[in-house]
Amino acid sequence: MANPIVDLADADLLERLKEVKKQKLLSGFEVVKRATSEELGDRKNDSEWLKANFSILVEHIQERAYRLYLESEKPACVEAFREVLGPDSEKPFSTEFEKHFFTLDRFFLALTQGRRPRAGKAFEHVITVLFSKLQYPYASQPIINGQPDFLLPSVAHYEANAVDCIIFTVKRTLRERWRQIVTEGTRGFQFFLATIDESIAARDLDAIRDHRIHLVLPERIRAERYSDRPNAISFETFFRDHLDPAMARWKNNDVI
């Protein structure tokens, strides 16, 4: 049986490979959910343990999710090759490889380049999954004079009493992008920026402080890199000193 793909333009072949690979590959959110389940084990319903170990979990789950993604990437690509190049091709794979070498080269380049934004999104996915497990109320990426990653407890309460809400944004690395948080809910009383960036410039740290933004980091990174910065806090401190007191206040006032 002849391989119908040999008649396609290389651009079409490349797009078809990408499309099939995407269909076969687990989504980033599914990978993080699986990594979280494996990392938590029988502690998955232990809220106090989750909060006490949140910093370690954030780092470990991301590492595990990346390993799981790489493990799933290989079979997804193999299936894409089989489906697109054709399992019944009369030509050996070496012939197909030579014929489409530059197309396959671009495919693998796109594969590699796609891992970086996926890693950034994985950090947000980890926070989403763990926040949900802890049953914290939040709106995800609401449109409120900007679009923060999390608004706690709700859009309705923000519209009624913005200064009583928490604006929580997640950025794996900062550079100048931290300034977006100032417009991502500028009426909010409490700004929190979660990151795992270990090389934030001193001038940015000063500016972040001057804009009344708390940096929320895994405890290891906070202690090693930013221990002299009073607005740099661990996830555990965020829960203890900010979110849990807010939860108590919201419950007392029948907000949640």
Same domain, 127 and 143: no
47 pLDDT higher than 90: yes
8 pLDDT higher than 50: no
Report the alpha-carbon distance of residue 172 to residue 202 in Å, rounded: 18
pLDDT at position 50 is 97
Report the alpha-carbon distance of residue 51 to residue 43 in Å, rounded: 11
Interval 208-253: pLDDT, tens = 998 889 999 999 999 999 999 999 999 999 999 999 999 999 999 9
How sure is the predictor about 2, in pLDDT bands with cuts at 50, 70 and 90?
A: very low
Domain that holds residue 96: 4-132
Contact indicator for 225, 205 with CB cutoff of 8 Å: no
Same domain, 204 and 248: yes
Same domain, 126 and 157: no
User: Between the CA of residue 169 and those of 45, 104, 166, what are the distances in Å?
Assistant: 25, 37, 10
3-state SS of the chain: helix, strand, coil percent to 5? 65, 10, 30
Strand-pair partners of 131: none
Torsion angle of C-alpha atoms 235, 237, 241, 247, degrees rounded to 10: 30
Same domain, 188 and 140: yes
Q: How many folded domains does the chain comprise? A: 2
Interval 77-134: pLDDT, tens = 888 877 777 665 556 666 766 777 777 777 777 777 776 666 668 898 999 999 999 9
The mean pLDDT value of the chain amounts to 85
pLDDT at position 64 is 94
Same domain, 107 and 149: no
pLDDT at position 4 is 44
Same domain, 143 and 125: no
